[in-house]
Amino acid sequence: MAQSPSLQRSLGVFSASTIIIGSMIGSGIFIAPSIMAGLVATPGVYLGLWILGGALTLLGALAYGELCARMPRAGGQYVFLREAFGPMVGFLYGWTLFLIIQTGFNAAVAIAFAKFLQGVGIATGEADLVLVLGPLTISRAQIVAVAVIALLTAVNCRGVREGAFVQNLFTVLKICAVVLLAAIAFASGKGDAKNFLPLVGTALGPAGLGLGFLSAAGVAISKALFAYDAWNSVTFVAEEIREPERNLPRALLWGTVITTLTYVAACAAYLYILPLTRMGAVAENRVAAEVAGILMGRAGVIAVSIAILISTFGCENGLILSGARVLYAMARDGLFFRGCARIHPTLHTPAAALVVQGIWSAVLALSGSYSRLLTYVTFASLSFNALTVVGLFVLRRREVHVQRVDPEGRPVSSDSYRTWGYPLTPALYLLGAGFFILYILIGDPVASLIGISLVAAGFPAYALFRRRGADLP
């Protein structure tokens, strides 16, 4: 029999880093700050939540770096959970990733892209309805989101190099755009340093009233963590990265640090120009466009809106490129639709998995508002990220009795690819993640319980795939 087509190791450390940075810097930093300002009205707390979110993400990335070095395989986090806790836990993650985490990100970012078309004079907001059938409404933003998902799915079906080219280009452009906006804001003299005071306090915005400070802060940081999430997406494409044992940990570290610095600079610039009370009241939560309008007038709104369109488009590309690899890995293990395990014979891409992911992402884009998708996604994603870091402790304990080997079967020294500061750094990550998981649940129980129910739906699905051997269309 002819050898089956396989994934190709075509990506270097630069492309791996741009997948991380480009997947994180999308729509969140341009919209989430306004949503957060409606929940928490203390400037120091507002900025502190962004810094804390970056620190928490970095701690997680340090742990994931070791897991990547141990298991540089397609599917990344799915593989980590499978190896640490067994196939059912791995499946529950992959199922939830497919059902809401990755596809939810795809939908939310695509909707954000559509919303920012308004900055260039195209009416595509969530309030611009084209269909109303009782409780069912379809907006222009949702229609545009579906079109973007379809286009980028087609691009990534063409080849990983094509997808990486789009990712590299748009990541460089978006970093330049965010840094330039922050520099212009601070150089303009149109802001007020008093907007940064007070640094401490428990003041709440209109959306946070009635929640209590910790609950409001928990819901607020869920929006920041949405902007930071997808840092783990590069682990999904591990089988397509050259020298993954070295390049993946480096990409995780530098990608997270660069993104955190970019986010904090942008949020500080917003706050310098707009006090939190005004930031929380910005129409459609388009705080970056509002700041650009104050700085440069209508021309600034258009220029920044174009830059944000570039950013969200690049983010969407990174999410689509990486997420389908998890479905491919699950199908290869017999835990998803068998067709998704096929690699295109000439393009060497998991084209079927990409199409399935694209269809469900489009369904989610048609199902809910931007803010609600953020909460559903972040609660489930943060919970699984925490469980994956627990898996590092499990695998470390297990390796006392089992000699590790690389993908070619060669023994690997137990001193290689270690997490910096272990066990303190992963323990701190778990402490911070556990705190915010609890208060996201308290602050928005309905959305959180929906997230839990989506995970629970994976139990009967797992039984079905195990019983039928994934021998489905």
pLDDT in the model for residue 289: 85
Q: pLDDT category, 404, cuts 50, 70, 90?
A: low
Q: Of 10-24, 29-43, 62-76, 458-472, which range is least confident? A: 458-472
Entry field: residues in the chain: 473
Q: pLDDT category, 102, cuts 50, 70, 90?
A: confident
Q: Give the mean model confidence (pLDDT) for residues 373-397.
A: 84
pLDDT in the model for residue 469: 61
The Cα 335–Cα 247 span in angstroms is 29
Q: Of 179-193, 199-213, 349-363, which range is least confident? A: 199-213
Q: pLDDT category, 186, cuts 50, 70, 90?
A: very high
Q: pLDDT category, 473, cuts 50, 70, 90?
A: very low
Phi and psi at 440, nearest 5°, equal: -65, -40
Give the residue from 107, 85, 157, 82 showing the smallest Cα distance to 330. Answer: 82
pLDDT in the model for residue 368: 66
- pLDDT tens-place string over residues 126-137: 777 887 777 777
CA distances from 225 to 48, 51, 174, 390 (A): 13, 11, 19, 19
Q: Give the mean model confidence (pLDDT) for residues 197-210.
A: 86
Q: Name the one residue in this structure whose structure tokens are 């002819």.
A: 2
pLDDT in the model for residue 375: 63
**Which residues does residue 411 pair with via DSSP β-bridges, in sequence order?**
405
Q: To the nearest whole number, what is the mean pLDDT of the chain?
A: 86
- pLDDT tens-place string over residues 317-330: 999 999 999 999 99
Long-range CB contacts (< 8 A, 24+ apart) of 466-473? Answer: 466/335, 469/334, 470/331, 470/334, 470/335, 470/336, 470/337, 470/338, 471/338, 472/337, 472/338, 473/337, 473/339
Structure tokens at 303: 């220029």
pLDDT at 363 over 60: yes
pLDDT in the model for residue 134: 73
Grouping H, G, I as helix, E, B as strand and the rest as coil, residue 55 is: helix
pLDDT in the model for residue 414: 46
Phi and psi at 74, nearest 5°, equal: -60, 135
Q: pLDDT category, 374, cuts 50, 70, 90?
A: low
Q: Give the mean model confidence (pLDDT) for residues 163-185.
A: 91
The Cα 358–Cα 324 span in angstroms is 9
pLDDT in the model for residue 214: 85
Q: Name the one residue in this structure whose structure tokens are 């620190």.
A: 55
The secondary element (H helix, E strand) that includes residue 54 is helix 43-70
Single-letter amino acid, residue 162:
E
Pinpoint the alpha helices (H) of 117-194: 140-158, 160-188
pLDDT at 125 over 90: no
pLDDT in the model for residue 94: 94
Q: pLDDT category, 120, cuts 50, 70, 90?
A: confident
C-alpha 335, offset from chain centre = 24
The Cα 91–Cα 330 span in angstroms is 7
Q: pLDDT category, 184, cuts 50, 70, 90?
A: very high
Is there a contact between 56 and 222 (Cβ–Cβ < 8 Å)? no
pLDDT at 431 over 70: yes
Is there a contact between 265 and 247 (Cβ–Cβ < 8 Å)? no
Higher pLDDT, 432 or 356: 356
The secondary element (H helix, E strand) that includes residue 137 is strand 136-139
The Cα 60–Cα 385 span in angstroms is 8
Close Cβ partners of 428 (under 8 Å, ≥ 6 residues apart): 59
pLDDT in the model for residue 373: 60
- pLDDT tens-place string over residues 266-315: 999 999 999 999 999 888 788 988 999 999 988 888 888 888 899 889 98
Q: Give the mean model confidence (pLDDT) for residues 361-372.
A: 76
Q: DSSP secondary structure string, 379-408?
A: HHHHHHHHHHHHHHHHHHHHTTTS--B-TT
Reply yes or no: is the peptide bond before residue 423 cis, omega within 30 of 0. Answer: yes
Higher pLDDT, 152 or 370: 152
Q: How close are the terminal C-alpha atoms of the chain, in Å?
A: 24
pLDDT in the model for residue 263: 95
The Cα 276–Cα 46 span in angstroms is 9
The Cα 235–Cα 241 span in angstroms is 10
Reply yes or no: is the peptide bond before residue 72 cis, omega within 30 of 0. Answer: no
Q: pLDDT category, 411, cuts 50, 70, 90?
A: low
pLDDT at 403 over 60: no
The Cα 321–Cα 165 span in angstroms is 11
Is there a contact between 419 and 63 (Cβ–Cβ < 8 Å)? yes
Gyration radius from the chain CA atoms: 21
